[in-house]
Amino acid sequence: MKYWTLTEADIDRIAIGCGILGTGGGGSTYHGLLRAKALLREGKRIRMVRPADMAPDAQILGIGGIGAPTVGIEKIPEGSEGVRLLSALERHMGRKVDALLGDEIGGGNGIAPMLTAAMVDLPVVDADGMGRAFPEVQMTTFFIHGQAVQPAALADADGNVLVVTDATTPKMLEKLLRASTIAMGCTALMTTAPMSGDFVRRFGVPHTTSQAWSLGDAVLSARAAKADPVEAILKQSGGVRLMRGKVTDIGRRVMAGFTRGKLTVAGLDADAGRTLTVEIQNEYLIAREGEKIITMVPDLICIVDSETGRAIGTEELRYGLRIDVLSMPAPVLLRSEIALASVGPRAFGYDFDFVPMGVSADAPAVPQYEEDA
Amino acid sequence: MKYWTLTEADIDRIAIGCGILGTGGGGSTYHGLLRAKALLREGKRIRMVRPADMAPDAQILGIGGIGAPTVGIEKIPEGSEGVRLLSALERHMGRKVDALLGDEIGGGNGIAPMLTAAMVDLPVVDADGMGRAFPEVQMTTFFIHGQAVQPAALADADGNVLVVTDATTPKMLEKLLRASTIAMGCTALMTTAPMSGDFVRRFGVPHTTSQAWSLGDAVLSARAAKADPVEAILKQSGGVRLMRGKVTDIGRRVMAGFTRGKLTVAGLDADAGRTLTVEIQNEYLIAREGEKIITMVPDLICIVDSETGRAIGTEELRYGLRIDVLSMPAPVLLRSEIALASVGPRAFGYDFDFVPMGVSADAPAVPQYEEDA
């Protein structure tokens, strides 16, 4: 098996990249960064493995945080939640797992599986189920393509653990895990049913840890060269800048276990006079200029500090912050019809269909096959 | 082993008695009554066993409904929730249980374990953990005396099942089960950790199914003899009538998974001119006349139809109903200092200590040992 064994310098890059891919959510990367480095210094190892290198019948478990990022930034993990999860689930299944992965590469959840993996010495698969962050459990390419709904498990910092042994739908699983997370104080660590190596290879968003690393490396290289880190992000990601501006208003509240809100950005420099609004449910979902929607979920809306290129999570937004609002195309696995039913605008309660970024709403959203004339 | 094998006539009596002991809650007995009779007609058996006859190391599992009675009266069980619970918990523990019991004799929960027991042919222990009904999971003589917090399990009518494999406290277990129950639509069936025969014999409220039967038999005998069924209840239970009256106001809402509210009763006949109020959290908790508290939790406040002696659940209260408000002393196991911390007025948010019914608030609540003069 070929492994990519992470160094502290890799963790720095991955944390920056996960922040950017977090589209405002997925939890802060800061605690995960410190904890991953501490584990490396204790002599633990974090080994990444490519999805194509996993045995087809390998058992892979997704691990990540669930809750409201605004709470998670203050109520930090105890540290061994993942070990308790793994132990509860392995006991329930009566078998061991072979590798971990993150269901969500965005934010702290891009690092979360590495922490548990280091503690139990399992490899981490370089793939995830979102290619970004989403607020709900069922919004992964895995559930979209038929991942088993059970078993799933939830653990908190105090030692509470529960196993969902049967759930009728992924959405019901989300409801059950969310309700318990709220009872646990709005943050917890969760895991969903193990997946085979073959399944992850077919339905995972591949190499997203590598992608995060590349984004982080671009930012650090630009900083070192006194170049513009935001330009470096755009060049590396194929994204576009929607606006450079200043936060003039942020409404944010924790409700039903989520952070919800709305951000207003006034343009600066070349964008002076323009106003952009961004709607939030844990993540940045919809960017509008006046009535016009510029970018919509599942395409990525990423907000970074204009000076440093560091991602700004929804919980960090405050009046006066100088930011760049960027947009990146969603992975193809998220743009299919079946995926859009779970992660398109309608899945978030909006009354319109997905239109990819850069495409006029009047143009068809997907190629149209027509009768031969 | 000596069994008391229930007949349909026994079920009739037990349902009436459980209703009275339900102190307004524990869920309606109506569905359980019908279902128990249907199971008997299918040839299943319901066998009661005395706690003293259980082997000291027998494994006994408590089963009962959780949720808001106002919801439970409309959203009825699917029927095999208990079988799914038992299966999930036995799988988790890796061993079988020997008998079931109800954590709560009051209301439908006094019948609930019989339904599952009939389906899997296990005996039901003639004891419970409340001697009445209480709104929260941790309010049992079992948890008060150290029942293990895990494992516990929850199942709903749709097929969702979860197992709490670790909980830090009984109160945290209540929070987790309550949150998931709400996610399941406000009603579910639950089970807590298995208890030994010895533990149930020491800390269970003994023979409460028999007590329910006796109350029901007294009511049916009085009806048959054209006598006053309410007087029969008082004679059988050692309780007192607080007031005969008419419902003049009932405020009731479902919040946080509970039914909460306040009832006002205007006196009739000998009680004309008096007004009684009763405060509700799933059960009738506090009865006041003006500022004066007449009966308080854990003593039982039971409301019955003045004509028939049938118990009136909190969900059935409506303007104009002719009722008798009765009061019965709580089992001694509920009146100890350790029990009152869990089921006394302060456990429900009231700012006063328990005073047993019939005792003036100025008198000491418990015998006071004093120095020999």
Q: What ipTM describes this predicted complex? A: 0.83
**Token pair belonging to B340:** 């009152």
| Residue B84 with chain A: CB contacts under 8 Å | 166
Do A204 and A234 lie in one domain? The reply is: no
Q: How far apart are CA B122 and CA B142, in angstroms?
A: 21
pLDDT in tens, A100-144: 999 999 999 999 999 999 999 999 999 999 999 998 999 999 999
Q: How far apart are CA A145 and CA A333, in angstroms?
A: 10
| Residue B161 with chain A: CB contacts under 8 Å | 164-166
- Minimal Cα–Cα distance from A81 to chain B, Å? 12
Query: Considering only alpha carbons, which residue of chain B is nearest residue A91?
Result: B92
Find out whether the peptide bond into A206 is cis, omega within 30 degrees of 0: no
| Residue B174 with chain A: CB contacts under 8 Å | none
Question: Between chains, do A179 and B175 touch, taking CB under 8 Å as contact?
Answer: no
Q: Is residue B372 in a domain? A: no
Query: Considering only alpha carbons, which residue of chain A is nearest residue B93?
Result: A92
Angle of helix A81-93 versus helix B81-93 axis, rounded to 10 = 110
**Alpha helix (H) ranges present in B43-101?**
69-72, 81-93
Question: Between chains, do B179 and A179 touch, taking CB under 8 Å as contact?
Answer: yes
Q: How far apart are CA B186 and CA B257, in angstroms?
A: 6
Q: Is residue B366 in a domain? A: no
Q: How far apart are CA A303 and CA A318, in angstroms?
A: 13
Question: Between chains, do B178 and A183 touch, taking CB under 8 Å as contact?
Answer: yes
pLDDT in tens, A28-55: 899 999 999 999 999 999 999 999 999 9
Q: Provide CB contacts within 8 A for A252, sequence distance 6+.
A: A70, A259, A260, A261, A280, A314, A315, A317
Distances (CA, A) of A55 to A52, A204, B276: 8, 15, 72
Q: How far apart are CA B214 and CA A365, in angstroms?
A: 72
Do B161 and B274 lie in one domain? The reply is: no
Beta-sheet strands, E only, within A182-318:
187-191, 195-196, 205-206, 240-255, 258-267, 275-281, 283-289, 292-296, 300-305
pLDDT of residue B285: 96
Q: How far apart are CA B355 and CA B293, in angstroms?
A: 9
Residue ending a domain, choose from B175, B208, B241: B208
List the one residue out of A45, A60, A62 whose CA is nearest residue A8.
A45
Sign of the dihedral defined by the CA atoms of residues A225, A229, A233, A239, in that order: negative
Do B40 and B185 lie in one domain? The reply is: yes
Do B162 and B258 lie in one domain? The reply is: no
pLDDT at A367 exceeding the cut of 60:
no
| Residue B168 with chain A: CB contacts under 8 Å | 158-160
Do B178 and B255 lie in one domain? The reply is: no
pLDDT of residue A213: 96
**Token pair belonging to B307:** 């004509």
- Minimal Cα–Cα distance from A20 to chain B, Å? 33
User: How many beta carbons lie within 10 A of that of residue A308, not counting itself?
Assistant: 13
Q: Is residue B105 in a domain? A: yes
Specify burial of residue A185 (Cβ count, 10 A radius: 0-12, 13-18, 19+). middle
Per-residue DSSP letters for B285-350? EEEEETTEEEEETTSEEEEEETTT--B--GGG--TT-EEEEEEEPPPGGGSSHHHHHHHSGGGGT-
pLDDT in tens, B83-94: 999 999 999 999
- Minimal Cα–Cα distance from A158 to chain B, Å? 7
Find out whether the peptide bond into A329 is cis, omega within 30 degrees of 0: no
Alpha carbon dihedral B94, B100, B101, B102, in 10-degree steps, equals 80
Nearest CB neighbour to A160, from listed B159, B172, B183: B172
pLDDT of residue B109: 96
β-strand A59-67 against A99-101: which pairing, if any? parallel
Place of tokens 């945290």: B172
Q: Is residue B370 in a domain? A: no
pLDDT at A364 exceeding the cut of 50:
no
Q: How far apart are CA B216 and CA B222, in angstroms?
A: 10
Q: Are A59 and A194 in contact (CB under 8 A)?
A: yes
Residue ending a domain, choose from A208, A236, A264: A208
| Residue A175 with chain B: CB contacts under 8 Å | 183
pLDDT at B361 exceeding the cut of 60:
no
- Phi then psi dihedrals of residue B216, to 5 deg: -65, -40
pLDDT of residue A361: 47
Do A253 and A180 lie in one domain? The reply is: no
List the one residue out of A322, A313, A58 whose CA is nearest residue A201.
A58
**Token pair belonging to A269:** 């420099």
Q: Are A106 and A132 in contact (CB under 8 A)?
A: yes
- Minimal Cα–Cα distance from A163 to chain B, Å? 5
Mean pLDDT of A143-163: 97
Q: How far apart are CA A200 and CA B84, in angstroms?
A: 31
pLDDT in tens, A203-237: 999 999 999 999 999 999 999 999 999 999 999 99
Of chain A residues 146-205, which have a CB less than 8 A from chain B? 153, 155, 158-168, 172, 175-176, 178-180, 182-184
Radius of gyration of chain A from its Cα atoms, rounded to whole angstroms: 20
Nearest CB neighbour to A159, from listed B155, B158, B166: B166
Average pLDDT score over chain B: 93
Q: Is residue B341 in a domain? A: yes
Q: Exposure pattern of A310-338 as b/e (b: 16+ CB <10 Å)? A: bbbbbbbbeeebebbbbbbbbbebbbeee
Do A246 and A101 lie in one domain? The reply is: no
Structural domain including A80 reads 4-208
CA angle A29–A32–A37, rounded 5-degree value: 125
User: How many beta carbons lie within 10 A of that of residue B366, not counting itself?
Assistant: 12
- Minimal Cα–Cα distance from B192 to chain A, Å? 13
Find out whether the peptide bond into A367 is cis, omega within 30 degrees of 0: no
Residue ending a domain, choose from A175, A208, A241: A208
Specify burial of residue B8 (Cβ count, 10 A radius: 0-12, 13-18, 19+). exposed
Of chain A residues 67-96, which have a CB less than 8 A from chain B? 84, 88, 91-92
pLDDT of residue A96: 96
pLDDT at B365 exceeding the cut of 50:
no
The beta-carbon contacts of B320-323 under 8 Å, at least 24 apart in sequence, are B320/B246, B320/B247, B321/B246, B321/B247, B322/B244, B322/B245, B322/B246, B322/B268, B323/B244, B323/B245, B323/B246, B323/B247, B323/B265
Q: Is residue A324 in a domain? A: yes
CATH of the domain at B79: 3.40.1610.10
List the one residue out of A242, A306, A238, A309 whose CA is nearest residue A13.
A309
**Alpha helix (H) ranges present in B94-149?**
112-120, 141-144
Place of tokens 């709005």: A186
Question: Between chains, do A161 and B166 touch, taking CB under 8 Å as contact?
Answer: yes
Beta-bridged to residue B251, according to DSSP, are B262
Question: Between chains, do B165 and A167 touch, taking CB under 8 Å as contact?
Answer: no
Q: Is residue B55 in a domain? A: yes
Q: Provide CB contacts within 8 A for A156, sequence distance 6+.
A: A81, A184, A185, A187, A188, A189
Question: Between chains, do B168 and A159 touch, taking CB under 8 Å as contact?
Answer: yes
Nearest CB neighbour to B176, from listed A84, A159, A160: A160
pLDDT in tens, B163-187: 999 999 999 999 999 999 999 998 9
Do A184 and A236 lie in one domain? The reply is: no
| Residue B180 with chain A: CB contacts under 8 Å | 176, 179-180
Q: Are A307 and A230 in contact (CB under 8 A)?
A: no
Do B131 and B182 lie in one domain? The reply is: yes
Over pLDDT 70: what percentage of chain B? 96
Q: How far apart are CA A368 and CA A349, in angstroms?
A: 26
pLDDT at A90 exceeding the cut of 80:
yes
Per-residue pLDDT band for A363 (boundaries 50, 70, 90) equals very low
Q: Is residue A216 in a domain? A: no
Do B257 and B120 lie in one domain? The reply is: no
B84: helix, coil or strand? helix
- Minimal Cα–Cα distance from B95 to chain A, Å? 14
Q: How far apart are CA A193 and CA A183, in angstroms?
A: 22
**Token pair belonging to B172:** 């945290």
- Minimal Cα–Cα distance from A153 to chain B, Å? 9
- Minimal Cα–Cα distance from A10 to chain B, Å? 36
Question: Between chains, do A183 and B184 touch, taking CB under 8 Å as contact?
Answer: no
Do A60 and A142 lie in one domain? The reply is: yes
pLDDT of residue B27: 86
Angle of helix B112-120 versus helix B30-41 axis, rounded to 10 = 20
**Token pair belonging to B250:** 């009932």
**Alpha helix (H) ranges present in chain B?**
8-21, 30-41, 69-72, 81-93, 112-120, 141-144, 170-183, 197-203, 208-224, 229-237, 337-343
pLDDT in tens, B238-279: 899 999 999 999 998 877 777 789 999 999 999 999 999 999
Nearest CB neighbour to B175, from listed A159, A165, A183: A183
| Domain total of chain A | 2
Nearest CB neighbour to A163, from listed B159, B160, B165: B165
Per-residue pLDDT band for B359 (boundaries 50, 70, 90) equals low
Per-residue pLDDT band for B68 (boundaries 50, 70, 90) equals confident
Q: How far apart are CA B82 and CA B88, in angstroms?
A: 10
Q: How far apart are CA B172 and CA B181, in angstroms?
A: 14
Predicted TM-score (pTM) of the model is: 0.87
List the one residue out of A122, A116, A112 whose CA is nearest residue A31.
A112
Distances (CA, A) of A227 to A214, A220, A231: 16, 10, 8
Do A202 and A247 lie in one domain? The reply is: no
Query: Considering only alpha carbons, which residue of chain A is nearest residue B81?
Result: A166
CATH of the domain at B240: 2.40.390.10
